[in-house]
Amino acid sequence: MSEKIATREAYGKALVELGASNDKIVVLDADLAGATMTKFFKAAYPDRFFDCGIAECNMMDVAAGLSTMGLIPFCSTFAMFGAGRAYEQIRNSIAYPRFNVKICCSHAGVSVGEDGGSHQSIEDIGLMRMIPGMTVIVPADGNEARKATFALAQMEGPAYLRTARLASPVFEQDYPFEIGKANVLREGKDAAVFACGLMVSETLEAAELLAAEGIHISVINVHTIKPIDAACVTKYAQKCGNVVTVEEHSVIGGLGDAVADVLMGKVNCKFRKIGINDCFGQSGKAKDVLREYGLTADQIAAKKASPGKRRGMPFSVKQMHQSRTA
């Protein structure tokens, strides 16, 4: 995993490819084309690009209308302004009538960095996940972001795609992508770790650190939060008996809760969530902010700090292994 590319950039370039093969693809942005990377589509197909200005709510309603004309609108803005500010329009104008609109939001999570807590959306997965009929996808790398963009164009109905500002490693192995099907990236017996987005590469690195200590974990990339791959979640929870979820999102409403919903009352296992623990983000260098919230590889692998200092959940994979074998 030497090459790095931001998933927002891969998304923007994928739109250009889509535009060449499908003239029904149209792209809308809210005065952020240079940041969301829809600038590539704008340059290639200016007649199919609509800059709606700083008016995200209006943009969603415009996209809803375009979809009724047989077009496939891709709406782009920051996650805070898309999933947050325009929530009511997404719910009532797009999801309620099940219009074929794709909401693709970048700059999600605390890795937005210097923009600070006001711009670091840590609630967007939960907000979108609770809307009936909404598909929610969080790609782990550039290749997956490209494949997810193509998959969204082919599926019918509303969908939410979450991309990141920070460049992240591109996996050397070319994994398949299918909406609703998780990818098992590493096999291990001591714990099943389910991750999404930027946290997949961090979890893979954590797995290497743990393997050096004789702890072997399964790493599962849950790129589709909804509909979640319940069969995969159940299988690996039963296999390992220890379940950990890792996400750059609040531990409330996101991947952790989606996995818990599958397992509750069905599988007897230990369960821990690692993520943003009911607090807002803050400004700083992206890597520093990720470390502040316990979302780096060594922190995922290592024991957590004493109570009161934890940003994530109480126990790490290592502690769970130790408690299991003690």
- Residues known to be catalytic: 56
Cβ neighbours for 257, distance < 8 A, ≥ 6 positions apart = 126, 251, 273
Distance between CA atoms of 136 and 90, rounded to whole angstroms?
A: 13
Token pair 């589509």 is found at 41
Answer whether 275's CB lies under 8 Å from 250's CB.
yes
Edge-to-edge strand order for the sheet containing 102-106? 49-51, 25-29, 72-78, 102-106, 159-162, 135-137, 224-226
- 3-state class of 13 per DSSP? helix
Residue 38 to residue 29: CA distance in whole angstroms: 7
Residue where the block lists tokens 């607090």: 279
Helix, strand, coil abundance in the chain, percent, nearest 5: 40, 20, 40
The alpha carbon of 195 is separated from its chain's Cα centroid by a whole number of angstroms, namely 9
Structure tokens at 192: 């099943």
Residue 268 token pair: 């007897």
Q: Are 41 and 12 in contact (CB under 8 A)?
A: yes
CA nearest neighbour of 18 among 164, 170, 152, 135: 152
Instruction: Characterize the bridge pairing of strands 72-78 and 25-29.
Output: parallel
**Cα(263)–Cα(245) distance, rounded to whole angstroms?**
12
Q: Minimal CA–CA distance to 77: which of 126, 28, 17, 22?
A: 28
| Cα(79)–Cα(138) distance, integer angstroms | 12
Cα–Cα distance, 223 to 27 (Å, whole number)? 23
